[in-house]
Every structure is written in structure tokens, then in C-alpha cells.
Amino acid sequence: MSVVTNTTTIGAIDLPSRRNTELALLGFAVAIPVFAYLNVGLALDGKVPAGMLGYGVGLGLLAGIAHLLVRRFAKYADPILLPLATLLNGLGLVLIWRLDQSPRVIAKSMAQFGSYSPDAPKQLMYSAIGVALFLLVLIFLKDHRVLQRYTYISMVVAVILLLLPLVPGLGSDVFGAKIWIKVGPFSIQPGEFAKIVIAVFFSGYLMVKRDALALASRRFMGLYLPRGRDLGPILTIWAVSLLILVFENDLGTSMLFFGMFVIMLYVATERTSWIIMGLLMAVGGAVVVGSTASHVKSRVAAWLDPFECLKTAPEGSNMIQACDQMTQVLMSFGSGGTLGTGLGQGNSDLVGFAANSDFIFATVGEELGLAGVMAFLLLYGLIVERGLRTALAARDPFGKLLATGLSGAFGLQIFVVAGGVMGLIPLTGMTMPFLAYGGSSVIANWALIAILLRISDTARRPAPAPAPSPDAEMTQVVRP
Amino acid sequence: MNKPLRHIAIFCGLLVLALLIRDNWIQYVRADELSTHSSNRRVTIERYASVRGNIIVDGKPITGSVDSKDPTYKYKRTYTNGPMWAPVTGYASQAFDANQLEKLNDGILTGNDDRLFFDRTLSMFTGDKKKGGDVVTTLNGAAQKAAFEGLGDKKGAVAAIEPSTGKILALASTPSYDPSSFAGYHDKDAKAWQALEKDKDKPKLNRALREIYPPGSTFKVLTAAAALENGKVTDINAATDTPEPYLLPDTRVAMKNHARGCENATLKYAMEVSCNSVFAKLGHEVGRDKMVEMAEKFGFNNAEIDTPVRAATSVYDKKMDRPGNALSSIGQFNTNATPLQMAMVTAAIANDGKLMKPYMVDELRSPDLDILEKHEPEEMSRPMSPKTAQLVQEMMESVVNSQVGTGGKAKIDGATVGGKTGTAQHGELNKARPYAWFISYAKTDNGSPVAVAVIVEDSKATRDDISGGGLAGPIARDVMKAVLDSKK
């Protein structure tokens, strides 16, 4: 809150921009993945990997350009977010490259498709696109409040994005979940982008409606119930998230949107009753869907006791597959133990398909162990908390809500994915931001970081110096 | 809006905390359980990731490893003369786990054992590939060959022990299987495995260690020892007070003798021709509790005879009634023994009353031949005095040497052989085909180098004690001869 004090008459104290801190941290964020890369190469082939220099220079270049542009266009931005994202993205590339080398994966692909193409180069390209988008956002989005104008357009865009996978011919069904669309050679997961767009809509909408939602309510059984016309959009969101779940088999995305909305409602209205209502609606939705959709049912069974469910599940059902995956992931984590087997020396590719996307965290668990997983969780936690710190510091309600929504969604996604993979909650099939293979995810998350940086830049930017006050002149001491 | 925002920050912190706790739960608390879980393929992958050490007999490996060119399991196990050695080695299969020595010494063979830590660290620096250590067995290749070939296509088992040390010299079981046939994890391995699983003859069963049979008349040597130890007989050449027919105690059931001249026969004669009545009566006189005590000293009712492969528990019933005890004294009723157990009984007699703990792993050694563990012979018990043992030896030798003796086929030139035949009735109302047994030891001037127990299950034998001598005797003789020859 120190920022607020700057608007008093004491005058503007130039906050340190912390750009050099960011540069130093970026040095680490590049060096650590480069060493990890070396480590994998040595473990797998016993020699320094061929692409070592290119990889190091490439990652360094991406980070360097990003840093210079932040210096130029968002001087006061949070100094930790960019290094964190760079580190995670870099380590993700190493992990994907490591899984690419798995002879089992290669043999399986050769047997199935007769060819094999590694994912790491593609991911590197996506990362470059992601950083490019990050820079574009920083350059062209001079002030995040501009987004406020597009509140209702955002809603339309978000709905379209979410419904695209259901369009026949465009959407593609991958292992039961209809969350991809195919455009030429690329498959895009529109849900990842919808996450950002919908946060913009919620922020704009709630900023306008917060008073109505907070105050114009009737007390009923200890809860403050809003008026019907204010409640409408909320019920709509709830219904939409249920529909996504039912038609696209995407438990994760619907949980994410709904959770994000509840968080933002709570922050906007400062009323606890929203949390309670949100929870009730979420539980209601989960019960309805959980008892009807077989997809969800098998995941719940796999969550409760994967080893037992593997024995009791009917032959050839998707429950077998879900339970088998869960046991493989758990055994992967267990085999890693406290310190892990070391990069390149585990067998996390046994998890099967999606080892480098949905289940990449299992590789972290097996090869870097408990220590590595905790480090990763803390890195993610830091991103979330820096985002919320940005929200606290933001001076405009729209920025506050947007930063809250984005970092809340990020935090929820971490929880849903890591919790699912580690068997804390039922698995939902989302991916670890930055770490997992997937173009949409990397690109969208870089954009998310860019928006957070922009908000933090505005928040930490010193207020313009107060206009010279005529009264101050009067108190001047006139020297003889 | 800042107050709820701080709550959200705390909430997100709690989410991360929950993840951290969960992670500790699965990666620390449950790590061992998960990493060694039976469906965790990493255990198998690790087992075949490097050249596996070998199981050694007579200084030569009877196992091997070949590069399978497979991305998952790098090396595959091979076996030299697999069916012959299967009861010793067990199997190590990429798809079906491992058993016996392959499983028990997995740590040494894979090189993952803690005792090989130094070697592993060293090879990390020298850049050598990780290699497994070797398991050196006590077995005698010639004896094993004689046993396996002697059994031929008959169903049965042979166990041979060196009485003075307890070293297992031969361990054969037929029909057998070739562990190489399912060492991999492909379709043909699965087919071979399923065929073995379905086989009525149970080729995978290690009959020498893991199957119990009624020992029949071979048990009489134990009853004789018990009678001598307990003073029920003092002179083996004195007539016993045995009626013909002998009625089982508390019953009107007459015991049948296949042999002639059993009425008031001497103990020695009764042993030679295998009189049921004499031994049933002696067992009854010794009494159940003393009989149990004697049997247990030999290793009966002991569930933990580890060679290190655990043998099935041989049984002498502790709670049966008096007629049961009398029947058990001639190796029928509830009495059951593994071939190893009967070899132990014979070995203890040949070793003048001292029973040595049987074992078949002599040394564990590192890839560079350092000895990691050496098994020292260990005394298990002293079931009888040397004097008793010598008297029983005298009787067993006359089983082989006497004109009327049933064990004539086991004679070996240049060695003293003592033996006892047995034909064990079993099945409902004893209708099933009887088992042919033969237990024996050979002796030279330097003591006894070998005691052996042979059982042939599916004999075409008549119900006659001769069949034990006729079918199982020659096998025992060949095994003893192989050991004697290899000592020369």
C-alpha cells in the first residue's frame, strides 16, 4: 500500500524499478535449464548434447529480448514474474526433450504410425511464439484499462472460443475430450485463450455490477441473496460451465472458470455469501455430472483407489484406462522418492500417452523427486502470489479484478492439474502451465504473464508529481 | 477490495500447501510401497537393465545374459541346460517376475545390492557398465546330471546332500521346464508360460523342495533311531516281541506285512525286508510325543528350512491318536516329507548323528570376484547319539548288502552304501499308484560324501518294497557314484 502514500503532498518518490534484479534472476532462469539440458544429455548418451549451445543461446536470446522490452515498455513491472516464467518454460523444454529421447516412446510411435517426430523442437517454436505474443501485449497494450471497453465483446469471444470444439469438422475428439480444434496442421485448445478473455469479461462486468450485487440483496436464511436480474449472469456462467463439462468432457476447464468467477465475485462484492453459494453450486453441479457422465465416473473411481479399481473395473472400459494411468503416475512419483532418480534416468514414459503434456509432472516427480516437485510447486505459488500482490497494489478496480482473476485462475489450474496428477483430487486432464507440451497453453500463459506485468507496471509506476501548490509558495522563507 | 483479496491470497497459499503435503505423502511416506509395488515395471526394468550376474556350478555359469535389443528390457536371461537346473536356479522372466535363487539373490545378480555399492561407485568413475555379482552354488554338476537323467521321463525328484557340511549337491525335479522359454515378454513367452501353467504334470513345481509326499518305509530309519535313542531296543540283532498279525493299538485292524518272517524279527532283519509290524509297534512303544520330538529334531514341522529357497514343511502330526502314531511310524497316515527332508534324515545318520543345515549358496561374489558373503556350514541339531547313528548305519548297509535286503541295486564298488527303500501308499483308501522312494548314503574311508533321497511318483510299480529299490535305487546309485567319482 506504499504506493497509495505517493499520491499525498509529500511528492513522488521514485520507486526502484528493479530491472537489474530481474536481469540477475533471468541469468539464473537461463542457466538452470541449460545445466538441466546438459544433465539429461550426459545421463542419456554420456556426452554433451549436440544442441547445447543452440539451446542455451536460444533461451538466453528469448529472455534477453523480453527483458530489454520490459525495460523499455514496462519499466516498473514486477521483477520476478518474467524470470519465473522463463525458468518454467526452459525446464519444460528440457523435460519434453528428455521424453523425446525415450526409446520406448520412439519404438511405440514407429510401430503405430511408422514415423516419429520429437516434440521439443515444436515446443521451442511455440515458446518463441509465446514470447513474441508476450512482447506484443507489452508493446501495444499501453494501459490495461483499455480492455475494460471490450467487456461484452470479450464475453461473446469467450463463448465462441469455448464452443468452437463442438463445431463439426473443426473440433477434434482426442481421447474422449473435445477441447481441441484443428486448423490445418495445428491443433489449438481454445479453452486456454478463453481463460484470459473471460477474465477480462468478468472484471468489466463485476466492476460495473459490484455495488448492485453487494448491496441490493435480501437476507434469506443468513445469506444475502442478490436480485434476480443480478443473479442471471451468474447462473448463466454456472450453466455454461456445466455444459462445457457435459459436451466437451472437460472437467478442468469448467472447474477453472467457475472457480475464477466465484473468486472474482467475492473480491468484487466483499461478501462471503458468494463463496458459500459458489461452493453449493459447484457441489451440485459436480454431483449431477459425476453421477451421469461415465467419463467423470471412471476418473472418480481412479482417484479413490486406483490399484483396487484396476482389478475391479470391467474389461475394456475406459475406467481401466483411467485407473491404469493413475497407478502408473503414482508409481512414477513413488519411484522418484525424496531426491529422484536424476534427470534422464527415470522411467516416467511408462505413464503412456500424454506423458509430456497432462502427466509431465510425473516426470518431475520421478526424476527430480520430492525436492524437485516442491521446488516447482513453490515456483508456481510465487507466480500466483506475485499476481495477487499486483492486484493488491493496483489502483483501479478493473486492474485489481483482472489481476485477481488471472492469478486466481493460474493458481486453480496448478491445483487442479498437480492435485489431479498426484491423486489429491480426481484427474481432469489439464496441463501444467509452461511445463507441459502444447502450443496453446504456452502461448496463452505468456500472454497472461504479459497482462500481469502490464498491471503491475501501472500499479508500481510512481504517481505523477503533484501540481505545484500556490500555498506552498507562501511559506517560503525569504532570506535577507 | 483488499480484504477479500488477502483472503484469496491465503486461499491460494493453502492450495499450494495442500499440494506440498500431498506430495510428501506420496513421495516420502508411500515411496517404498509404490516403488516396489508388484505392478511397478521399474523393478523389472531395473532387473534387466544391465548384464545380470550368473549362478555358478562347479566354477562354470549355468545362466547367461544376452542383449535383447529391446528398448524396455535391455538384457534377457538365458539358461544352459535349463530344465536340468530349473529347480536350483528358478526363473527370471521379464514378464513373469522371478523366483528361487534368481529372486532371492536379485540384489547381487542385478548389482543393486548395498554390498555392491563400492563397485557401482567405482564403475561410475571408470566408466564401466554396471554389472551384477555372481551366486556360487554348492551343487555338483555330475550329480545333478545323474539325477536328472536318472529320473528321465518319470515324474519325481532327487535331493542330495553332503552330510558333513549340509551342502546340497543335487536337486532335480521332473518333469521340468526350461526357464529360457519364457524369459522375455513377448507372445511366445506368454504362450510358453501359459502352457506350463495349464500342464497337469505341473512342470514348474520344484518337487525336491516344494512338494511333500508320504515317505513310506524310508521313514522306518527314523523310527529305528527313535527306538534306539529311547532304549526300546538295545540290540539290533535280538528278536523283537512282535506278533503276526500285529493289531494297531486300540483297534482290531491288522497291519499288513508285505515281507515274510516278520514275527518276532530282529530290528536289523525288519529293516532289511521292511517289516511294517515291527516298526509300527516300535513307534507305538516310543510314543507319539517322543516320536514327534525325534522327527522335529530332523527338521519335521519346521516351516523355515531355507536353503535359501524355502522348503515346504514336512509333517509329523503332533495331535494324532495312538493307531495314527503307529501308522505314522511307518511313514503313512499324516506323515509327509519333502525329498530334501528325507535326504536330511539320511545325511544326519551318515554324519554320525549330527544334522547340518542344508544350503545351496556357497558364496556371493562381486563382479570382480571379491567374496561378499561366504556360507559357513552350520549345525542344525543332533537328533541321536553317534552310537545310535552307527547302529542305524549298520542296518541300512545291510539293506543294501544282505541277500534278502531290498536295496541291492544301490551297491557301488569301492564304497560302503547304506540305504532304505520305500513304497508309499497314498490317495483315497490308498488306491492311487504308490510312490517309489529310496534314501541312501555312500561312505568311504574319509567319511560320507553324499546322502541322497529319490522319489519316483508315477511308477509302474506294484505294491512292493522292491519297487523303491528297483525304480529309485539305481538313480540314487548313479548320483552317489557321480559324487564319489568327482572326489577322486
Q: In this model, does residue A246 exceed pLDDT 90? A: no
Answer for the pair A374, B23: CB distance below 8 angstroms, yes or no.
yes
From A85's Cα to the closest Cα of chain B, the distance in A is 18
pLDDT tops 90 at residue B468: no
Structure confidence at residue A2 (pLDDT): 44
Q: Is A471 exposed, middle or buried (0-12, 13-18, 19+ CB in 10 A)?
A: exposed
Q: Output the nine-digit C-alpha cell for B411.
A: 551297491
- Say whether pLDDT at A35 is over 90: yes
Mean pLDDT of chain A: 84
Is residue B199's pLDDT more than 60?
Answer: yes
- The better pLDDT of the pair B186, A294 is held by B186
- Report the pLDDT value the prediction gives residue A10, as an integer from 0 to 100: 45
How far apart (Å, rounded) are the C-alpha atoms in residues B413 and B485? 11
What is the CB neighbour count within 10 angstroms for residue A221?
5
Q: Which of A92-96, A228-232, B106-110, B460-464 is modeled with the greatest confidence?
A: A92-96
- Nearest-by-Cβ selection for A331 from B1, B3, B37: B37
Average pLDDT for B364-368: 86
Q: In this complex, do A270 and B1 lie within 8 Å of one another by their Cβ atoms?
A: yes
List, as one string, the DSSP characters of B412-448: -TTSEEEEEEEEE--SGGG-SPPEEEEEEEEEETTEE
Give residues 50 to 79 of A whose Cβ lies within 8 Å of B: none
SS3 content of chain B, % helix, strand, coil (to 5): 45, 20, 40
pLDDT at A357 exceeding the cut of 90: no
Instruction: Tell if the CB–CB gap between A404 and B8 is shorter than 8 Å.
Output: yes
In 3D space, the residue among B153, B156, B145, B88 whose CA is nearest the CA of residue B438 turns out to be: B156
Average of per-residue pLDDT across A449-461: 92
Question: Which pLDDT band, with edges at 50, 70 and 90, does B315 fall under?
Answer: confident
Give the distance between the most distant pair of CA atoms in chain A. Answer: 101
Is the confidence at residue A373, as pLDDT, over 90? yes
Task: Using an 8 Å CB-CB cutoff, list chain A residues near B31.
Answer: 334-338
From residue A229, alpha-carbon distances to A201, A219, A241, A281, A287 in Å are 18, 16, 20, 18, 27
Q: Is B393 part of any domain?
A: yes
> What's the rounded Cα separation, in Å, for the pair B207 and B213?
9
Q: What angle do CA B16, B18, B24 make, to 5 degrees?
A: 105
pLDDT-wise least confident of A11-15, B146-150, B476-480:
A11-15
Considering the domain boundaries, does residue B244 fall inside one?
A: yes
Strand, helix or coil for residue B127: coil
pLDDT on residue A313: 76
Highest mean pLDDT pick, B35-39, B236-240, B354-358: B354-358
For every residue of A366-424, DSSP letters joined together read HHHHHHHHHHHHHHHHHHHHHHHHHHHH-SSHHHHHHHHHHHHHHHHHHHHHHHHHTTS
Task: Answer yes or no: is pLDDT of A464 > 90.
Answer: no
* d(C-alpha A98, C-alpha A368), whole Å: 13
Contacts of B39 in chain A (CB under 8 A): 307, 310, 327, 331
Q: Which 3-state string (H, E, C) describes B298-356?
A: HCCCCCCCECCCECCCCECCCCCCHHHHHHHCCCCCCCEECHHHHHHHHHHHHCCCCEE
Give chain A positions within 8 Å (CB) of B1.
Answer: 267-268, 270, 397, 400-401
Q: Is the peptide bond before B175 cis (omega within 30 degrees of 0)?
A: yes
How high is the pLDDT of residue A200?
93
Among A154-158, B105-109, B112-116, B434-438, whose mean pLDDT is lowest?
A: B112-116
Comparing B286 with A291, which gets the higher pLDDT?
B286
DSSP H or E run through A363:
helix A360-393
Alpha-carbon distance of B488 to B483, in angstroms, equals: 9
In this prediction, residue A385 carries a pLDDT of 94
Q: Which of A270, A337, A384 sits opposite B27 (nearest CB)?
A: A337
- Crossing angle (nearest 10°) for helices B288-298 and B220-229: 110
Is the pLDDT confidence value at B240 over 50? yes
Q: Which three cell numbers stand for residue A199?
A: 477474465
pLDDT bracket for residue B188 (50, 70, 90):
confident
Whole-number Å distance between alpha carbons of A189 and A426: 21
- Interval A250-264 mean pLDDT: 85
Chain A nearest CA to B65, separation (Å): 21
**Domain containing B395 — which CATH number?**
3.40.710.10
Q: Is the peptide bond before B163 cis (omega within 30 degrees of 0)?
A: no
Chain A positions touching B34 (Cβ under 8 A) are 330-331, 333-335
* A99 inside 8 A of chain B by CB: no
Q: Which of A54-58, A64-68, B77-81, B429-433 has the highest mean pLDDT?
A: A64-68
List the single residue in A102, A370, A377 with the smallest CB-CB distance to B16: A377
Residue A475 is placed in which grid cell?
A: 511559506
Q: What is the pLDDT of residue A96?
A: 92
Would you call A415 and B18 a contact, using CB atoms and an 8 Å cutoff? yes
pLDDT at A4: 46
Neighbours of A321 (CB within 10 A): 17
At A394, give phi and psi (nearest 5°): -60, 145
Yes or no, beta carbons of B26 and A400 under 8 Å apart: no
Q: Which residues of A touch B41 (CB under 8 A)?
A: 347, 350
Angle at which helices A439-460 and A397-421 pack, to 10 degrees?
A: 140
Ramachandran angles phi, psi of A477, nearest 5°: -85, 125
Q: Give pLDDT, residue B40.
A: 85
Greater model confidence, B178 or B123: B178
- The total number of structural domains in chain B stands at 1
- ipTM for the whole predicted complex goes beyond 0.95: no
Q: Which amino acid belongs to residue A88?
A: L
What's the gap in Å between the CA of A438 and the closest CA on chain B? 23
Rounded to an integer, the average pLDDT of A385-392 is 94
Confidence tier at A80 by pLDDT (50, 70, 90)? very high
Could you give the angle at the alpha carbon of A56 between the alpha carbons of A62 and A86, nearest 5°? 45
Q: How far apart are CA B223 and CA A309, in angstroms?
A: 55
- Read off the amino acid at residue A156: V
Is A32 in CB contact (< 8 Å) with chain B?
no
A365 close to B (CB below 8 A): yes
- Residue A318's region, left for phi above 0, alpha for psi from -120 to 50, else beta, is alpha
Residue percentage of chain B with pLDDT more than 90: 16
Residue B150 C-alpha cell reads as 536318472
> Residue B409: is its pLDDT beyond 80?
no
* Active-site annotation holder among B176, B217, B314, B398: B217
Q: Which residue of A has its CA nearest to B2?
A: A392
The region of weakest confidence among A188-192, A405-409, B256-260, B438-442 is B256-260
Beta-strand relationship, B75-79 and B92-93: unpaired
Mean pLDDT of the A349-377 span: 89
* pLDDT tens column, B74-100: 888 889 888 889 888 889 888 888 888
State residue A1's pLDDT score: 43
Is the CB of A165 inside 8 Å of chain B's CB atoms? no
Exposed / middle / buried, residue B30 (Cβ in 10 Å: 0-12, 13-18, 19+): middle
Q: What is the dihedral of CA B333, B160, B479, B207, to 10 degrees?
A: 50
Residue B217 appears among annotated catalytic residues = yes
> With contacts defined as CB-CB under 8 Å, which chain A residues touch B72?
103-104
Name the residue facing A335 among B5, B42, B127 (closest C-beta).
B42
Cα distance between residue B168 and residue B340, in whole Å = 9
**Does B219 fall in a domain?**
yes
Interface A-B, measured as beta-carbon pairs within 8 A, has a size of 136
Contact A411 B4 (CB under 8 A): no
Helix (H, G, I), strand (E, B) or coil at A96: helix
Q: Would you list which residues of chain B are within 8 Å, Cβ to Cβ, of chain A?
A: 1-9, 11-13, 15-16, 18-20, 22-24, 26-28, 30-35, 37, 39-42, 45, 71-72, 127
Name the residue range of residue B283's domain.
209-364+377-486
Q: What share of chain A is helix, strand, coil (3-state, %, to 5)?
A: 70, 5, 25
